Amino acid sequence: MRLPARSSRTGTTTALALMALLGALLCSLRAPAATLTVAVTLPNGQPLADAVVTVRSNGKKLPAAAPMHAMMDQMNRMFAPEVLVVPVGSSVSFPNSDSVSHQIYSFSAAKRFQLPLYRGKPYAPVLFDRVGVVILGCNIHDWMIGYIDVTDAPFYGTTDAQGGWAAQVPPGDYEITVWHPRMHELTPTLVREISVDAGDRATLALQLTKPLRPAPMEGGSPSWGSY
């Protein structure tokens, strides 16, 4: 999955290094950026991976991140990744790496669509042009469920295996939102405010108060049917 320069995920150290270099170059021209790090943990202290982090400016309005092209695959009759966050206006392709057909649908307000994915046939990506969470299902495999968070935030990403996410942001006041589809908190947000000055390395540690709803049992045998 390609990510825009302003977001980061697992293994994006090279991207971060590049950004740091870029930041250093811009240093003489503009105020240096701040490094914003978010660390999300469960009530038992374990890291929470795949949580969606979005960062909005509280002061000067920043434009939404640039649209991108992302991918959500179908592997072993599951969505991979299960959770995806994309800037509004992005397109997402569903390549179907399985040996069986899928029929992807959503009736979420942010995007209603249906897309049959027959084996070995490429399909045009789907455009996500409205902000909101889109919940995906498969009309053939009932247990398949995926989430695409379409955001207008200037900075966004999902937490890595250590529950961490980091980005370079200009100095200012920010509102940070954390969301995971199996969070118990019904308003799908955990919101915190933070101010950063030029050159700051700010870290927001956030611990959920309730455990996640249990995950579905992973990857049943592929020979299991729909009974």
The answer to whether 31 touches 198, Cβ cutoff 8 Å, is yes
Nearest residue (CB) to other proteins, 16 versus 145: 145
Could you tell me the CA-to-CA distances from 18 to 6, 54, 100 in Å, in that order? 11, 22, 41
CA dist 76 and 124 (Å) reads: 22
**Smallest separation, CB 143 to other proteins (Å):** 5
**Smallest separation, CB 176 to other proteins (Å):** 21
Tokens of 85: 């966050």
* Residues at the contact surface with other proteins, assessed by CB under 8 A: 99-101, 103, 105-108, 112, 114, 116, 118, 133, 135, 137, 139-143, 145, 181, 188, 213-227
The answer to whether 40 touches 208, Cβ cutoff 8 Å, is yes
Phi, psi of 132 (to 5 degrees): 145, 175
Nearest residue (CB) to other proteins, 14 versus 226: 226
Q: Determine the distance from the C-alpha atom of residue 65 to the mean position of all C-alpha atoms in its chain, rounded to a whole number.
A: 13
**Smallest separation, CB 27 to other proteins (Å):** 44
Nearest residue (CB) to other proteins, 183 versus 206: 183
Nearest residue (CB) to other proteins, 14 versus 221: 221
**Smallest separation, CB 116 to other proteins (Å):** 5
